[in-house]
Amino acid sequence: MFKRYLSIVLAGLLVFGANTSYIFAQTNTDNNKASSAEKIKAAVLKRGTSEKKAVRVKMLNGSKMKGYISQIGDDSFTLTFSKTRQQTIIPYSDVARVEGRGLAGGARVGIIVAAAIGGTLLILYAAFEHAVRNN
């Protein structure tokens, strides 16, 4: 009797589970573009204009550029390539990400922590080997 009810419940779950349709909320893409452009503009302002502060710019179309920010405007910034000194005006709305060159802060912390753990393990291993040899 129990097997019969269990099979009916499982069959019902399969039938109703297969016909579910998902409803996703629509997002307003204009607001998302405006807010991402504001975030990019804040990142550019944070970096500032200096030849010593090189940046990597990843565009929405997937291309990447390297150089330094030479001018900052209201709706765009000017990226100057370090090697060729060629300037390119880039609108904030076309940029996916702006980041400084070199390792990110989290990567630096990870390397330091890994080195500290490795050093500690090496010292513990040496102390263990010394204790085993003396006994």
Residue 75 has pLDDT above 70, yes or no: yes
pLDDT recorded at residue 22: 56
Mean pLDDT confidence for 4-15:
70
Residue 7 has pLDDT above 70, yes or no: yes
Regarding whether 127 and 82 lie in a shared domain, the answer is no
Percent of the chain whose predicted confidence (pLDDT) is above 70: 76
79 in the same domain as 113: no
Residues 38 and 27 in one domain: yes
Q: What is the CATH number of the domain that holds 74?
A: 2.30.30.100
Residues 123, 94, single domain; the answer is no
- Give the residue numbers spanning the domain of 43: 2-102
Same domain, 26 and 39: yes
pLDDT value, residue 18: 59
Q: Tell me: do 20 and 82 sit in the same domain.
A: yes
Looking only at the bridges linking them, the beta strands covering 87-91 and 95-100 are unpaired
Do 43 and 107 lie in a common domain?
A: no
Give the H/E segment covering residue 72. strand 64-72
- pLDDT of 79 > 60? The answer is yes
pLDDT grade for 132, boundaries at 50, 70 and 90: confident
Query: How far is 13 from 10, CA to CA, in rounded Å?
Result: 5
Do 23 and 67 reside in the same domain of the chain? yes
On whether both 128 and 83 belong to a single domain, the answer is no
- Assess whether 52 and 15 both reside in one domain: yes
123 pLDDT more than 70: yes
Give the pLDDT confidence of 45-74 residue by residue, as tens digits. Answer: 888 887 888 888 999 898 999 999 898 988
Distance, in Å, from the CA atom of 123 to the CA atom of 119, rounded to the nearest integer, reads 6
Angstrom distances, CA of residue 13 to CA of 1, 5, 19:
19, 12, 10
In the chain, how many domains are there?
A: 2
For residue 86, the model assigns a pLDDT of: 92
Query: What pLDDT does residue 91 have?
Result: 92
User: In this predicted model, what pLDDT tens digit does every residue of 19-43 receive, in sequence order?
Assistant: 555 555 555 555 566 678 888 888 8
Q: Are residues 92 and 26 in the same domain?
A: yes
Tell whether 66 and 81 lie within a shared domain.
Answer: yes
